[in-house]
């Protein structure tokens, strides 16, 4: 049992030594390079919308954006 376990662990660790090949080739990235393929197409707008929520919700973080005051005192 120990032998099977240690062999499995070694095999898993050895897999980490293999080189990772990109599975999306450069010539397949035309869609990814389209301007609409962006999480934040207009930073000035997404920063403002994020601020609207930050001021009025208890949760914050994991959405990007800068700090600052809130104008809500």
Partner 1 sequence: MARKAETGVVVAVTRRWRRRIAAVLCLAPLLTNGAILPEDRADALYHSYNGGGVEVTGPSILVRKGDAKRFSVNANYYTDSISSASIDVVTQGSEYTESRKQYSLGVDYLHADTIMSLSYTNSDESDYKADTYSASISQTMFGNMTTVTLGFSRGMDDVLRNRDPNFSENADHRDYQLSLSQVLSKDLLMSINYDAITDQGFLHNPYRSVVFLDPSKPSGIGFEPEIYPRTRTSNAVSANFLYYLPYRATVKLSYRYYTDDWGIDAHTAELAYVHPIGSRWILEAGYRYYTQSDADFYADFFPRAGAQNFEARDKELSKYNDQTASVGVSYELLGKKRGFIDKATLNLKYSRILFRYDNFTDLTDPDLPDYEFTADVFQAFASIWY
Is 36 a binding residue for partner 1 by CB under 8 A? The answer is yes
Is 45 a binding residue for partner 1 by CB under 8 A? The answer is yes
Q: In 3D, which of 52, 50, 44, 53 has the Cα closest to residue 64?
A: 50
Is 18 a binding residue for partner 1 by CB under 8 A? The answer is no
Q: Which two tokens stand for residue 72?
A: 């809500």
Smallest gap, in angstroms, from Cβ of residue 15 to partner 1? 15
CA separation, residue 19 to residues 15, 51, 55 (Å): 9, 42, 46
Is 52 a binding residue for partner 1 by CB under 8 A? The answer is yes
Residue listed under structure tokens 């929520």 = 53
Residues that bind partner 1 (CB under 8 A): 20-24, 26-34, 36-39, 41-45, 47-49, 52-53, 56-64, 66-73
């Amino acid at each position: 049992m120990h032998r099977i376990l240690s062999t499995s662990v070694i095999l898993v660790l050895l897999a980490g030594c293999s080189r990772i090949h990109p599975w999306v080739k450069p010539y397949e990235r035309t869609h990814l390079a389209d301007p609409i393929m962006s999480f934040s197409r207009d930073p000035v707008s997404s920063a403002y919308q994020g601020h609207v929520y930050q001021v009025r919700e208890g949760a914050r973080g994991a959405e990007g954006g800068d700090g600052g005051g809130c104008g809500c005192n």
